[in-house]
Amino acid sequence: MNIFLIALIGALLVVAIMLIGRFTLGRHIPVEWPKIARWAGIMFVLNYLFALLILYFAQPALTGPYGGWQWALWLLFVTTLISLSSIFRVAAHRINTAGQQPTTIRRNAANRPHVVDAGATDAADHNRGKVRAGIVGVGVLILMLLIVNPIWAISTTWFDELAFTLPPLRLGLPPTRS
């Protein structure tokens, strides 16, 4: 197969996993198709270029475990980190503004003080769909690394009678010239 086709298939798989994650987790939030299409397009182009770099410089295509598709896990890992980066941005913003926001004390019906934070309006500052996609990406990576890898290793070595075949060993040392 051509390296360009292999990179295309890998990028499409990663984008498909991320889109499945974006639409399957959580509540039903209104879908904004132009934003999702732009996000998926940018993600596809970046994954395609990254896949070409991996296949050209680091990994020979279609050799190794998973029929040679183990390099696609790097694409999924990097894309997952990028998708989850919006959480880190919002968390850093909240930490930075925590001491600067004014708070007001209101009394509720039981005449107990209730602290109201004026900075609570930035809760929807990040895109929750990207975070969902990142969570599913992490789930797929954990599934592959903790479940599929051991099963792959067991099935390719324990049940293959040629895997344990060793060359005959000599018990004595070879003669030396002295």
Confidence band, pLDDT 50/70/90 cuts, at residue 163: low
CA distances from 130 to 20, 35, 80, 84, 93 (A): 11, 11, 9, 7, 18
**Three-class secondary structure of residue 114 per DSSP:** strand
| pLDDT, greater one: 140 or 162 | 140
pTM above threshold 0.85: no
Nearest in space to 139 (alpha carbons), one of 21, 12, 13: 21
Confidence band, pLDDT 50/70/90 cuts, at residue 125: very low
pLDDT at 73: 85
The predicted-structure confidence for 49-104, as pLDDT tens digits, reads as follows: 999 998 888 766 666 667 777 788 888 888 888 888 878 777 777 777 766 655 55
User: Residue 168 burial (CB < 10 Å; 0-12/13-18/19+)?
Assistant: exposed
AA letter at 153: A
Distant-in-sequence, close-in-space partners of 98: CB < 8 Å, separation ≥ 6: 119
